[in-house]
Amino acid sequence: MNKASRRVATAILPLVGLALAPVTVSQAASTPPVNPERKAQVVRDDYTGHVQVVRGKAADEKVLTGSVFVDKDKDSVKDRGEKGIAGVTVSNGRDVVTTNADGEYSLPAFDRMTVFVTQPSGYAVPVNEDNIAQFSYNHFPTGSPKLRFGGVPATGALPKAVNFPMVKSKATAKTSQNCAVASDTQGYNLKEVAYAKQGAVRDLVKRTDLGGCGVLLLGDNVGDDLAMNDPTKDIYRQFQGPVRALPGNHDMDFDAKDDEGSLDTHRAQFGPAYFSWDVGNTHMVALDNIRYNGTKPGGKWDNGGYKESLTQEQLDWLKKDLASVPANKLVVINAHAPIMHYRGVGTDNAADLFAVLKSTGRTAENTVMIGGHTHTIENLLPGTKREEWAAKGIAELPFHQIVAGAVSGDWYSGNLDESGLPYAVGIGGNRPGTLTLSLKGNRFVESYKVRQEPWKYRLSLGVNSPTWRDWAPKALAWRADKAADKGARPTMGNLNVITDEDLEGGTWISANFLLGSRDATVEMSVDGRAYQVAELAQPGKGEKTNTGWEFADVQVANANLLSAGGNVPQNSSSVWRATLPKNLSNGTHTATVKGTDRHGRVYTETVRFTVVDERAPVK
């Protein structure tokens, strides 16, 4: 996401009253198809290799030919006796063809094209020394125009053939497995790359359940400076599965004159701007929905800005790519910017994408969209309605949309935790982490792993009282005041102490149920009393986004109100509110909050608070 002002992570103020510890959770019997919480092992069976470019004069300079083959000896060379693979999709980004019975293909050739193969289930493409999947070839006869970070080197004339090696794979054939999504790693310098390495990326590297599907870097993999590409690749190199990468708005060649050349360095170092691959009974699609406005000399890196949109060429490719995907397959549409998010339409021509999906037989039951960019964690179900969407001509959400959070959280901002990492709690009350889709056949279960927390960490609780709602804006204004002498910080004292007057004026427990959807339920019990159902702050029934201190994730707001930087969110797609009884006696009480997600998994957390006659003066 484009951030107007970056904040450096600091450790200046103690987090008084802030609790960001693991929660106590019970798991229901219904668990993901391949539960990421268990130490599952999926042995990867890919190998280190490369796409084979057969040098020599092409038979026809306007046609690229080659084959997709089983690389039995894993030397990346099509040897005599190594069989071709029939029915594999190969594309130049415009045309889509399938290999014949001998694994051979031919495609129209043109300058500045990237040719790529769609890995079928039951096979695995090689990875390079950086663990990045190798399934594409750049044909740039004269190379990129001069670019600060290199772009694509000159490839010369069209080669005699381009062959795509693969090996048979039990890992990718499994219909039950996990796919990880890591969005917005976005290190602007080596210090921030190190934060990522010790945080959410460390969690990924430890996992042994991702050997088939691997991880998709969902864009904004670096922060504007493409010199950070190599350090970023280094931290994902030890990941136990293949790495694929989409570009984001911070991954472009900003000195390119237009959108067409803005991803040349990405193509050279990571792969195509958009592509697809199969795993199990799922067809994964990666789209590029960031369009560069072109260089603007004089700005940082000559950045001319961007818009979130899909090119017509890409939409045409997608229609062809999906044409042969059976209706009984799950299709996962990944893009850096969400197609939709709870505050608005995330991709300008979202309606055009929906039309393509519907025309190729995609329905709400067999399609899910995943985005990053906004640094939020969202789980928006088909049928959700928002006033902001209606204003852009989209009456309701036709497909499931998940927003995958961010490895960087709120750009590595705020105070440092006990591990020396910035809390980086941010927009929507989110925590740094990664998303996992657990697949079984053509169904999936979504899970979010908060950085360095157990899988069961899902709830963030706080006490939202009239006194707090009066103090919070004053504290935020004080923090934002740039005056040399801005006076004493507004004080509140113990954040979990409330008065009888607070109860009369409306006090509730705020519960941010991370990745909670409209179909989730949140309930609260005070001191063991009967559970009461909490209210979802953004029900998605056509209302405008509810914003204000009464809709905040109090725990996360407190973290950043008491720090030198970071967002102080006043809305979220996943905050529930449970009102406290007005007749509570003086003394300490315990609220137990139980969240049940749409898959029946149950999570519980408790928060203690104290009721007094009147608040003692703060010294």
Q: Taking the CA atoms of the chain, what radius of gyration do you get in angstroms?
A: 25
Q: Flag whether 430 is in a domain.
A: no
Question: How much is the pTM?
Answer: 0.92
pLDDT band at 561 (very low <50, low <70, confident <90, very high): confident
Residues 6+ apart with CB under 8 A from 161: 52, 53, 54, 65, 66, 67
Q: What CATH number does the domain containing 566 carry?
A: 2.60.40.10
Position 297 scores a pLDDT of 79
Q: Flag whether 134 is in a domain.
A: yes
What per-residue string of b and e applies to 534-563 under the rule 16 or more CB within 10 Å gives b? bebbbebeeeebeeebbbbbbbbbbbbbbb
pLDDT mean over 258-277: 96
Q: Could you tell me if 186 and 411 are in contact, meaning their C-beta atoms sit under 8 angstroms apart?
A: yes
Residue 182 has pLDDT above 50, yes or no: yes
pLDDT band at 22 (very low <50, low <70, confident <90, very high): very low
pLDDT band at 615 (very low <50, low <70, confident <90, very high): confident
Cα distance between residue 367 and residue 85, in whole Å: 27
Distances (CA, A) of 119 to 85, 173, 543: 11, 11, 42
Decide: residue 481, CB within 10 A, 0-12 exposed, 13-18 middle, 19+ buried: exposed
Q: Flag whether 512 is in a domain.
A: yes
Q: Which of 166, 189, 206 is the last residue of a domain?
A: 166
Q: Could you tell me if 553 and 512 are in contact, meaning their C-beta atoms sit under 8 angstroms apart?
A: yes
How high is the mean pLDDT of the chain?
90
Q: Flag whether 241 is in a domain.
A: no
Q: Flag whether 417 is in a domain.
A: no
Q: Residues 32-87: pLDDT tens digits?
A: 455 676 667 788 899 999 999 999 999 999 999 999 999 999 999 999 999 999 99
Q: Residues 207-254: pLDDT tens digits?
A: 999 999 999 999 999 999 999 999 999 999 999 999 999 999 999 999
Q: What CATH number does the domain containing 62 carry?
A: 2.60.40
Residue 25 has pLDDT above 80, yes or no: no
Give one DSSP letter per residue of 471-497, joined into a string.
HHHHHHHHHH---S---SPP----TTE
Q: Residues 509-559: pLDDT tens digits?
A: 999 999 999 999 999 999 999 999 999 999 999 999 999 999 999 998 988
Q: Could you tell me if 611 and 584 are in contact, meaning their C-beta atoms sit under 8 angstroms apart?
A: yes
Percent of the residues in the chain that have a pLDDT greater than 70, as a whole number: 92
List the Cα angle 269/274/275 in 5-degree steps. Answer: 100
Position 34 scores a pLDDT of 57
Position 37 scores a pLDDT of 63
Pairwise pLDDT comparison (613 vs 403), residue with the higher score: 403
Instruction: State the total domains in the chain.
Output: 2
Position 150 scores a pLDDT of 94
Q: Flag whether 25 is in a domain.
A: no
Pairwise pLDDT comparison (284 vs 618), residue with the higher score: 284
Phi/psi zone of residue 586: left (φ > 0), alpha (ψ -120 to 50 degrees), beta? beta
Q: Flag whether 527 is in a domain.
A: yes
pLDDT band at 121 (very low <50, low <70, confident <90, very high): very high
Q: Residues 479-520: pLDDT tens digits?
A: 888 676 777 778 888 889 999 999 999 999 999 999 999 999
Residue 93 has pLDDT above 90, yes or no: yes
Give one DSSP letter per residue of 392-423, joined into a string.
TT--S--SEEEEE--TTTTTT-S-B-TTS-B-
Position 39 scores a pLDDT of 65
What per-residue string of b and e applies to 440-470 under the rule 16 or more CB within 10 Å gives b? bebebbbbbbbbbbebbbbbbbbbbbbbbbe
Pairwise pLDDT comparison (612 vs 562), residue with the higher score: 612
Position 303 scores a pLDDT of 81
Position 302 scores a pLDDT of 80
Domain enclosing residue 98, as ranges: 47-166
Residue 21 has pLDDT above 70, yes or no: no
Residue 152 has pLDDT above 50, yes or no: yes
- β-partners of residue 182 are 217
Position 244 scores a pLDDT of 98
Cα distance between residue 367 and residue 32, in whole Å: 18
Q: Which of 166, 192, 220 is the last residue of a domain?
A: 166
Pairwise pLDDT comparison (15 vs 601), residue with the higher score: 601
pLDDT mean over 571-582: 96
Q: Flag whether 540 is in a domain.
A: yes
Q: Which of 143, 166, 189 is the last residue of a domain?
A: 166
